[in-house]
Amino acid sequence: MRKMIFGGLAAVAAVAAIAIGAEAQDNPKLDQLKEQGFVRIAIANEPPFTAVAADGKVSGAAPDVARVIFERLGVPEVVASISEYGAMIPGLQARRHDVVTAGLFMRPERCAAVAYSEPVLCDAEAFLVKKGNPKGLTTYAAIAAHADATIGAPGGGTEERLALEAGTPRDRVIVVPDGQSGLKMVQDGRIDVYSLPVLSISELVKLANDPNLEMVAPVSDAPVYCDGAAFRKGDEALRDAFDVELAKMKESGEFAQIVEPYGFSAAAAMSTSREQLCAAQ
Ligand code: 6CS
C-alpha cells in the first residue's frame, strides 16, 4: 500500500512536471481537433465502462471523463464508434479514431503500441456461470485444467488472452461479440463461462435478472487491471494535455464524482500510474 501511495504521489509530481511542459509544447493534433470541433472516440458499448443508449447517447465512465476533459481542452463534441477490443489499437493507428476511451486495460504489449494517459478505470476480472457453477470453474487455470470447459470472451480482449495464457486450448476459448451474446450463450449452455471485468458482469447479471446465473468475482489468478485513454503514438502532446486535465480532476474530487457512481474506485486509479501498470504483469 505504501508503495502504491508513493507511486501515486510520484504520478502527481510527474504530471505536474508535464503540466508545465504541456502548456508550452506544440500540439498540432489538439489544434486539429479544436478546428474540427469534435474528437472521435472508440468504445465497446460495455456498461459501465462505455454505453450507447437506444437514442445513440453515449455514456459510461470512460466517455464521461473524456467528454469533460476534451471540453476543457476546447473540443466540444465527442463522436463515438463501437469497436471490438482487438480492433481498437489498429483503428487508432489507421487514424479511424483519435483516442480509445473504452476500458482498454494497460498491458505491456498495448503500452508499446499506444500512448496511454494516466490510469482512469480499474477493475478485477469475473466469470458469469450457471447457478451452482456446475464445473467448479473459479480461475482461468481451472478452465484450462478442465477436460472440456469452454470460456467466452471479447475478441482481442484481456480475458481471451488470460484464458489462452493459462493453457486453455484455442478451440475452448470462444470469441463473443458483446455482453448480451455472452449472457445468452451461458444461459443456453453453449459456453460454461463468460468472462469480463467484475463491473461489466455485475451489470449483465442485474439486467438479466435470471436466478439460474451467478458471478464468480474476483477471479483470483488475474490481476486488477486499469485502463487509460489510449492515443496514437505521435500524439503524445495531446496525451499530455489530457493528463494535465485528468490530474486536476483527480485533485479536485471531480474525477471521483464522475467514476464512482458507475461503481469504479477513484482511489484505485489514483494509487497507481501508467509507468507502474505498463511495467507490471
Ligand atoms: O481491455 C480489455 O481487453 C478488457 N477491457 C474491458 C473493459 N472489457 C473487456 C476487455 O477484454
Residue nearest to atom 10 of ligand 1 (CA): 157
The model's pLDDT over 116-143, given as tens digits with 9 standing for 90+, comes to 999 999 999 999 999 999 999 999 999 9
Confidence of residue 8 (pLDDT cuts 50, 70, 90): low
Average pLDDT over residues 69-79: 97
Query: Which mutation among 120, 158, 162 tests ligand 1's pocket best, with the greatest number of atoms within 8 A of CB?
Result: 158
The average confidence (pLDDT) of the chain is: 94
Alpha-carbon span 155 to 139, nearest angstrom = 19
Looking at residue 14, its pLDDT comes to 60
Confidence of residue 21 (pLDDT cuts 50, 70, 90): low
Which atom of ligand 1 is the closest one to the Cα of 154? Answer: 11
> 156 vs 11, 160, 163, 175, 204, CA distance in Å?
29, 7, 12, 8, 20
% the chain with pLDDT above 90: 89
The model's pLDDT over 183-232, given as tens digits with 9 standing for 90+, comes to 999 999 999 999 999 999 999 999 999 999 999 999 999 999 999 999 99
Average pLDDT over residues 40-53: 97
Q: Which three cell numbers stand for residue 47?
A: 456498461
Q: 158 C-alpha vs ligand 1 centroid, how far in Å?
A: 6
Residue nearest to atom 7 of ligand 1 (CA): 103
Query: Which mutation among 46, 83, 85, 107 tests ligand 1's pocket best, with the greatest number of atoms within 8 A of CB?
Result: 85
The model's pLDDT over 237-272, given as tens digits with 9 standing for 90+, comes to 999 999 999 999 999 999 999 999 999 999 999 999
% the chain with pLDDT above 70: 90
The model's pLDDT over 149-170, given as tens digits with 9 standing for 90+, comes to 999 999 999 999 999 999 999 9
Looking at residue 99, its pLDDT comes to 98
Q: Which residue has the cell 469480463?
A: 196
Are the CB atoms for 229 and 101 separated by under 8 Å? Answer: yes
Looking at residue 167, its pLDDT comes to 98
Are the CB atoms for 100 and 230 separated by under 8 Å? Answer: yes
Residue 19 predicted with pLDDT over 70: no
Whole-model pTM: value is 0.91
* DSSP string for 19-38: HHHHHHS--HHHHHHHHHTE
Alpha-carbon span 142 to 139, nearest angstrom = 5
Confidence of residue 25 (pLDDT cuts 50, 70, 90): low
Average pLDDT over residues 107-123: 97
Cα of first residue to Cα of last residue in the chain, in angstroms, is 18
Residue 24 predicted with pLDDT over 80: no
Residue nearest to atom 9 of ligand 1 (CA): 196
Are the CB atoms for 41 and 79 separated by under 8 Å? Answer: yes
Sheet holding 125-130, edge to edge: 173-175, 151-153, 193-197, 125-130, 213-216
Q: 157 C-alpha vs ligand 1 centroid, how far in Å?
A: 5
Which atom of ligand 1 is the closest one to the Cα of 49? Answer: 7
Q: 32 C-alpha vs ligand 1 centroid, how far in Å?
A: 29
Q: Which residues line ligand 1 (CB under 6 A)?
A: 46, 49, 85, 103-105, 154, 157-159, 196-197, 200
Looking at residue 238, its pLDDT comes to 98
Alpha-carbon span 205 to 128, nearest angstrom = 8
Residue 64 predicted with pLDDT over 80: yes
Residue nearest to atom 11 of ligand 1 (CA): 157
